[in-house]
Chains A and B, each alone.
Chain A
Amino acid sequence: MSRSTYASPSISASRIQMPSLETVAAWLLALVWIFPLLYAVWAAIHPSDFVASFDLFAPLTASNFIDAWNEAPFMRYYLNTFLMVTGILIGQFIVCTLAGFAFARFPVPGRDVLFMLVLIQLFVFPEVLIVENYRIASGLGLVDTIAGIGLPYIASAFGIFLLRQTFKTIPRELEDAARIEGCSWMGVLLKVYVPLAKPTYLAYGLVSVSHHWNNFLWPLVVTNSVETRPLTVGLAIFSAPETGVNWATISAATLLSIAPLLIAFLLFQRQFVQSFLRVGIR
């Protein structure tokens, strides 16, 4: 994002004084956009009586967080989400690296057709096929396992595409040099390609982690028990309006579920934005 700092001087001197109307509009929009989150924080740190009636001097409390923490096994949900997200990430890195490498450098017969087939998965996601994917997961004994949540996402078309593009930009000479030194293909991949694609891995990793941290429908369908439920599913059944759990507790639970990712985002904002950009633009 740092480039934006250098982009603005191009605006001529006559327009350096930005019309305040725009500033006001930008800020208003920003406040509107951040407001829901602020409201959730407000609701979570005050007694439930104040959820519906705003009072600047309402007493602060941590009891909503404590209630939420005690009423649902959030620790376990964190662990499940963590295992799922890391498992998916590692799986994706391995599978997509191999496939991306093959598409970038190997004369596999029918390569273009195969690549097209892979790209179709950019449109046909596991969620769209929940009915049949559920049946397949069930047949493979994957229902109610963390592997079951993750496996359909491992061969990510997006990841394959991204790494293929990156690998293609790496000069052949580097590869040839490594070959001359006696590196095997695996050695070339690990010593030349993977290190040079580091920024892509970082970007793709951040996007993958935030996507799967937030993913809901497929995990909902494929998990049955506390031992496998990720945060989103745990949060959804904890706070389903049916239970009539009070709002302050739900707000606290909601914040608990988003906290790790949100904090990571606030700390590494630039990397996040850059990553989304890098993989989004393709």
Chain B
Amino acid sequence: MRAVNSDRRMQVYGALLLLPAAILLGTFAYLPTIATLIDSLFLPGIRGEPPAFGGLANYQALIEDATFWKVARNNLVYALGTIPTSIALALGMALFVNARLPGRGFVRMAYFTPTILPMIAAANIWMFFYAPQIGLFNNLLDVLGIDGPNWLGNPRIALFSVIMMTIWKEAGFFMIFYLAALQSLPPDLQEAADLEGTTRWSFFWRVTFPLLMPTTLFVMINALINAVRVVDHLFILTKGGPNNATNLLLYYVYENAFSFFDRPYAATITVVILVVLAIVATVKFTVLDRRIHYQ
């Protein structure tokens, strides 16, 4: 009898401990998620009228909205442009820093420093690099006799320029995880390989790289989320232009909600983002690391 009581008490106590988190998560995560879904079914009121129910009209508009498709494609290109390259660089950096290297401390610091800068500050600095005519990149290219491009002003290059900056910002962050993974690899593997006279190159591809696979997947998920979530630099570098060449989904949400005053449409685009994130989350939880959460 007493055990049952104390069990009940434990349950209540536990629930109370969860309460603050539950209220906050409810208010700022679940409620807005549901509100987003509902909001996407309304049309904005014009001339001061209240919003009217519109069914799937916003989704219809979304499908017909060439800009939306362009922005979605941009985001895909942005993800494909940033993720593999920053992962490859991060791995390279980790290998460099993990090996014997004169001035290793400095090198590691140099790789990691961009990570602790705000995206806004990084964008400010890169703005000077990219400015045509007077910017640093084109001045340097000028010395080599090359006529530098209009980095942010040419729609065919602008997204690439944004991608380059993002890689610079992110690679050092991912390096850390590889570094940790490398240091936890058993040293005897390397010794065995040495005895067999395996080349470093084939040792890396046949042993190290496969062993780092969990880290790679982990980093990939993180990079994928960042590709959707972080649009701060667009506010400084391009504002999504020229002609939407660098516009990304979340920035398009911001524009619709706060520049065009079309919150329902912004909600509709948000739903698309939520779907993408849901897919990423499902992949992570079901395929990648079931073992972590239910041990």
Answer yes or no: do A and B interact: yes
**Chain B 117-136 against A: per-residue CB contact (8 Å), 1 yes, 0 no?**
11111101111110000111
**Closest beta carbon of chain A to B230's beta carbon, Å:** 8
B112 with A273: CB separation less than 8 A: yes
Asked whether any CB of chain B lies closer than 8 Å to the CB of A56, the reply is no
* Residues on A with beta carbons closer than 8 Å to the beta carbon of B22: 155
- Kindly identify which residue among B15, B23, B128, B191 contacts A108, using a CB–CB cutoff of 8 Å: B15
- Docked CA distance A250–B173 (Å): 26
- Kindly identify which residue among A12, A51, A128 contacts B277, using a CB–CB cutoff of 8 Å: A128
Closest-by-CB residue of A relative to B181 is A281
Asked whether any CB of chain B lies closer than 8 Å to the CB of A240, the reply is yes
Residue with the highest number of chain B CB atoms closer than 10 Å, among A36, A37, A236, A282: A36
Asked whether any CB of chain A lies closer than 8 Å to the CB of B46, the reply is no
Residues 1-39 of B contacting A (Cβ, < 8 Å): 7, 10-11, 13-15, 17-18, 20-25, 27-33, 35-36, 39
**Chain B 224-254 against A: per-residue CB contact (8 Å), 1 yes, 0 no?**
0100110110011000000000000010011
Asked whether any CB of chain A lies closer than 8 Å to the CB of B180, the reply is yes
Among B65-73, B75-83, B94-102, the one that faces the other chain is B94-102
* Residues on B with beta carbons closer than 8 Å to the beta carbon of A257: 118, 120-121
* Residues on B with beta carbons closer than 8 Å to the beta carbon of A266: 109
Asked whether any CB of chain A lies closer than 8 Å to the CB of B179, the reply is yes
- Kindly identify which residue among A3, A103, A265 contacts B116, using a CB–CB cutoff of 8 Å: A265
B187 with A10: CB separation less than 8 A: yes
- Kindly identify which residue among B139, B228, B229 contacts A52, using a CB–CB cutoff of 8 Å: B139
* Residues on A with beta carbons closer than 8 Å to the beta carbon of B134: 52
* Residues on B with beta carbons closer than 8 Å to the beta carbon of A265: 113, 116
Residues 202-241 of B contacting A (Cβ, < 8 Å): 225, 228-229, 231-232, 235-236
Asked whether any CB of chain A lies closer than 8 Å to the CB of B172, the reply is yes
* Residues on B with beta carbons closer than 8 Å to the beta carbon of A261: 116
Contact of A11 with B11 at beta-carbon distance under 8 Å, contacts A130-B254, A154-B24, A258-B118 already known: no
A126 with B28: CB separation less than 8 A: yes
Asked whether any CB of chain B lies closer than 8 Å to the CB of A99, the reply is yes
* Residues on A with beta carbons closer than 8 Å to the beta carbon of B254: 130, 217, 221
Contact of A155 with B129 at beta-carbon distance under 8 Å, contacts A10-B187, A11-B190 already known: no
**Closest beta carbon of chain A to B218's beta carbon, Å:** 8
The secondary-structure label for the interface of chain A is helix
B116 with A221: CB separation less than 8 A: no
Contact of A213 with B118 at beta-carbon distance under 8 Å, contacts A33-B172, A37-B113 already known: yes
B32 with A25: CB separation less than 8 A: no
**Closest beta carbon of chain A to B232's beta carbon, Å:** 4
- Kindly identify which residue among B35, B128, B139, B183 contacts A135, using a CB–CB cutoff of 8 Å: B35
A40 with B32: CB separation less than 8 A: no
- Docked CA distance A282–B98 (Å): 21
- Docked CA distance A7–B228 (Å): 37
- Docked CA distance A272–B113 (Å): 11
- Docked CA distance A14–B193 (Å): 12
* Residues on B with beta carbons closer than 8 Å to the beta carbon of A122: 281
Contact of A155 with B101 at beta-carbon distance under 8 Å, contacts A106-B10, A214-B117, A214-B118 already known: no
* Residues on A with beta carbons closer than 8 Å to the beta carbon of B109: 34, 266, 269
B120 with A131: CB separation less than 8 A: no
- Docked CA distance A147–B283 (Å): 34
16 A-B pairs with CB atoms under 8 Å apart are A22-B99, A26-B96, A29-B93, A94-B20, A95-B24, A98-B20, A118-B25, A124-B277, A129-B29, A132-B33, A136-B27, A151-B24, A232-B121, A265-B116, A269-B112, A272-B116
* Residues on B with beta carbons closer than 8 Å to the beta carbon of A51: 128
Residues 1-20 of A contacting B (Cβ, < 8 Å): 1, 3-4, 7-8, 10-12, 14-16, 18
Contact of A276 with B236 at beta-carbon distance under 8 Å, contacts A12-B191, A131-B267, A214-B119 already known: no
- Docked CA distance A160–B20 (Å): 12
Contact of A11 with B100 at beta-carbon distance under 8 Å, contacts A106-B17, A128-B270 already known: yes
- Docked CA distance A33–B289 (Å): 33
- Docked CA distance A180–B20 (Å): 29
B250 with A128: CB separation less than 8 A: yes
Among A71-79, A109-117, A194-202, the one that faces the other chain is A109-117
* Residues on A with beta carbons closer than 8 Å to the beta carbon of B168: 33, 36
